[in-house]
C-alpha cells in the first residue's frame, strides 16, 4: 500500500498542520491501496507563497535551462513508466494494457513535445518599431481530475514550466498517487525550490483557496461543468486568467456514404474507452434513418467485445468505474433512459455477471434516443451509448450541435471533402474525420460550456504567457 503523510512545498516534503488523510480505493477490488494527506488553506497559502518567491528567478532562466529540467522529468516518467501504469490502473481501473500506453505513455510523450517545442518557439518578435515579448504569467494553479490523472497534470504542468511559470498543483483526491510519483521525480531532477508544489485536498478547501488567491495569476482547471463555473466565479474577484476544460457530449455523425461497420466499431471504442469516463467520449451516435436498424445491430455486436473484467487481465477492455458513487450515477442515467422511452438494446442496471465485487457497470446501448431525452443532453461519464437517427445532413448537424457542450465530435464519410464540410459546421473544439488520430501538437479544448482556453502544443504554451509590446523611437 502506498502511504505518504507529507506534501511537497518549496522543494521540501512537509507535514500539513492538520493530520487528516484520504484513502485511495481500488475500484476493481474495493480495497484501500493508498493514503495521502489532505491539505488545508494553510498549506495552499504556503505553496502559493513559495511559487511567488521562485517566480522571478524561474521566469528569467534561459529557455535551454528550463528545457534541460523538463528533459530530466521526462526521463523520470519513462524510467518509472511501469510503476505509473500499475498505480493508475489500481487507482481508477483502466485496463493495464491501456494504462501502459495512455496513462503512462501519453504524459511522457506530451512532456517530450514541449521539450522539442522549446527548441523552435520564438518568445520575442519584431513588428515595425515594436518588440513583442512573451513573458510567463507568473504563479499558475493547476487543478486536475481523476480520469486521466497524470496526463491531465502534465498537460498543464509541462507548458507552465516551459513558459517560465511556477506551479501549485492540486490533483484529484480520488486518484492522487501518480501526482506524488511526479513530485518525487521533480525532486530528483533538482528543480529549484518553489517552482513545483503539490498540495492534495478537496475542492472546497484547497481548490477554492487557489481559485480566489490574490497571488495566483492563472488557474487552469479540468473537471465538471458545475465545478468549473465555481472556479470562474471565484477567479473573477482578482481578474486572474482562467482556462477551463469541462464536460462533453460528443456526437459521431455517420453520413450515408460512410463505411458503416468501421464507423460503428470505432464509435463504440471511442465511447467505452476508460469505461466511458472520458470527456471526449463519442456518446451520441448519429445515423441516417434508413441505416438505423443496421447501425443498431452493429453497435450491439461491437459492444459484446467489451465485457467488464479484471483490469490486470490481458483480455480485459472494460474496467470498473472509479467509485461506488460514480457507478450509481451511471446506473441512474440508465434508469432514466428506460423511463424516458429509449430502447435498451443491450446492457442495463444489473451488475455484470460474475462480478460481485468492484464498481462495474454493464456496457449499455440505447436506441431510438431523441434530442430532448436526458441521456442525449447530459454527460453520463460511463459506458453508455445513445443511438439517434436523423433525416438529412442539416438535421444531423442541428442534432450534433444541440447540447450545451462542444468539446469533441466525429464525422464519417467516404468523401473527405464532404466530411470536412460537416466538420466545419460542428461547434466543437476537436473533430475527428474517419477516425483521425489524436495529435499532441493540435489544440485541445472546447466551445460553449465545454470551457475556454486550449491545451497541448504551442496553443497550450501560450495560455501561460503574457504578451508585452515594447515600442522604440525610430
Asked if residue 349 lies in contact with residue 380, where contact means CB atoms within 8 angstroms, the answer is no
Q: How far apart are CA 162 and CA 175, in angstroms?
A: 25
> CA–CA distance from 13 to each of 44, 55, 153 (Å)?
14, 20, 19
> CA–CA distance from 242 to each of 49, 158, 211, 222, 327 (Å)?
20, 17, 9, 11, 31
> CA–CA distance from 113 to each of 79, 118, 166, 442 (Å)?
17, 9, 19, 11
- Which three-class secondary structure state does DSSP give residue 254? strand
Give the active site residue among 43, 245, 379, 463. 245
Q: How far apart are CA 238 and CA 213, in angstroms?
A: 8
**φ, ψ dihedrals at 461, nearest 5°:** -60, -45
Helical H runs in 276-320?
Answer: 292-303
> CA–CA distance from 105 to each of 99, 179, 233, 274, 331 (Å)?
8, 15, 35, 15, 31
Give the active site residue among 142, 209, 271, 279. 279
Q: How far apart are CA 84 and CA 103, in angstroms?
A: 8
Q: Which three cell numbers stand for residue 400?
A: 450534433
**φ, ψ dihedrals at 48, nearest 5°:** -65, -40
- In 3D, which of 345, 342, 331, 341 has the Cα closest to residue 303? 345
Q: DSSP letter at 370?
A: -
Q: Residue 353 catalytic?
A: no
Asked if residue 219 lies in contact with residue 166, where contact means CB atoms within 8 angstroms, the answer is no
- In 3D, which of 102, 88, 219, 236 has the Cα closest to residue 160? 219
Q: How does strand 32-37 pair with strand 196-198?
A: unpaired
Q: Residue 279 catalytic?
A: yes
Helical H runs in 4-148?
Answer: 41-60, 63-79, 81-92, 96-98, 105-118
Asked if residue 267 lies in contact with residue 282, where contact means CB atoms within 8 angstroms, the answer is yes
Show which residues are catalytic. Answer: 245, 279
Amino acid at each position: 500500500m502506498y502511504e505518504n503523510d507529507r506534501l511537497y512545498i518549496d522543494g521540501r516534503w512537509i507535514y500539513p498542520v492538520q493530520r487528516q488523510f484520504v484513502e485511495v480505493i481500488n475500484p476493481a477490488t474495493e480495497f484501500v491501496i493508498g493514503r495521502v494527506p489532505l491539505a488545508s488553506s494553510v498549506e495552499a497559502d504556503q505553496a502559493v507563497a513559495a511559487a511567488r518567491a521562485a517566480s522571478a528567478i524561474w521566469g528569467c532562466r534561459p529557455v535551454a535551462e528550463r528545457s534541460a529540467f523538463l528533459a530530466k522529468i521526462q526521463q523520470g516518467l519513462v524510467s518509472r513508466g511501469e510503476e505509473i501504469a500499475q498505480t493508475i490502473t489500481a487507482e481508477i481501473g483502466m485496463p493495464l494494457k491501456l494504462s501502459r500506453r495512455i496513462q503512462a505513455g501519453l504524459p511522457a510523450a506530451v512532456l517530450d513535445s514541449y521539450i522539442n517545442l522549446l527548441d523552435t518557439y520564438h518568445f520575442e518578435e519584431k513588428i515595425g518599431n515594436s518588440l513583442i515579448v512573451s513573458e510567463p504569467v507568473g504563479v499558475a494553479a493547476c487543478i486536475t481530475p481523476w480520469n486521466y490523472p497524470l496526463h491531465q497534470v502534465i498537460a498543464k504542468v509541462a507548458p507552465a514550466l516551459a513558459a517560465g511559470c511556477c506551479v501549485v498543483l492540486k490533483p484529484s483526491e480520488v486518484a492522487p498517487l501518480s501526482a506524488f510519483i511526479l513530485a518525487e521525480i521533480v525532486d530528483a531532477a533538482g528543480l529549484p525550490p518553489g517552482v513545483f508544489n503539490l498540495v492534495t485536498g478537496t475542492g472546497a478547501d484547497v481548490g477554492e483557496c487557489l481559485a480566489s488567491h490574490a497571488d495566483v495569476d492563472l488557474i487552469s482547471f479540468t473537471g465538471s461543468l458545475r465545478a468549473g463555473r465555481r472556479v470562474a466565479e471565484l477567479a473573477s474577484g482578482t481578474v486572474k486568467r482562467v482556462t477551463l476544460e469541462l464536460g462533453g457530449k460528443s456526437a459521431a455523425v455517420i453520413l450515408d456514404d460512410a463505411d458503416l461497420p468501421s464507423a460503428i466499431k470505432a464509435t463504440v471504442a471511442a465511447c467505452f474507452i476508460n469505461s466511458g469516463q472520458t470527456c471526449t467520449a463519442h456518446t451520441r451516435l448519429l445515423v441516417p434513418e434508413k441505416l438505423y436498424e443496421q447501425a443498431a445491430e452493429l453497435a450491439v455486436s461491437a459492444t459484446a467485445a467489451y465485457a467488464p473484467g479484471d483490469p490486470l487481465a490481458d483480455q480485459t477492455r472494460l474496467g470498473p468505474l472509479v467509485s461506488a458513487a460514480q457507478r450509481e450515477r451511471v446506473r441512474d442515467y440508465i434508469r432514466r433512459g428506460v423511463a424516458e422511452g429509449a430502447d435498451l438494446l443491450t446492457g442495463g442496471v444489473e451488475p455484470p455477471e460474475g462480478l460481485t465485487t468492484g464498481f462495474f457497470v454493464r456496457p449499455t446501448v440505447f436506441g431510438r434516443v431523441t434530442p430532448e431525452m436526458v441521456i442525449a443532453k447530459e454527460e453520463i461519464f460511463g459506458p453508455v451509448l445513445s443511438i439517434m437517427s436523423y433525416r438529412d445532413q442539416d438535421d444531423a448537424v442541428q442534432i450534433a450541435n444541440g447540447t450545451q457542450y462542444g468539446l469533441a465530435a466525429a464525422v464519417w464519410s467516404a468523401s473527405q471533402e464532404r466530411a470536412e464540410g460537416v466538420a466545419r459546421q460542428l461547434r466543437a473544439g476537436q473533430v475527428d474525420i474517419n477516425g483521425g488520430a489524436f495529435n499532441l501538437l493540435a489544440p485541445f479544448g472546447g466551445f460553449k460550456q465545454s470551457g475556454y482556453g486550449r491545451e497541448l502544443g504551442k496553443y497550450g504554451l501560450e495560455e501561460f504567457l503574457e504578451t508585452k509590446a515594447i515600442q522604440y523611437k525610430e
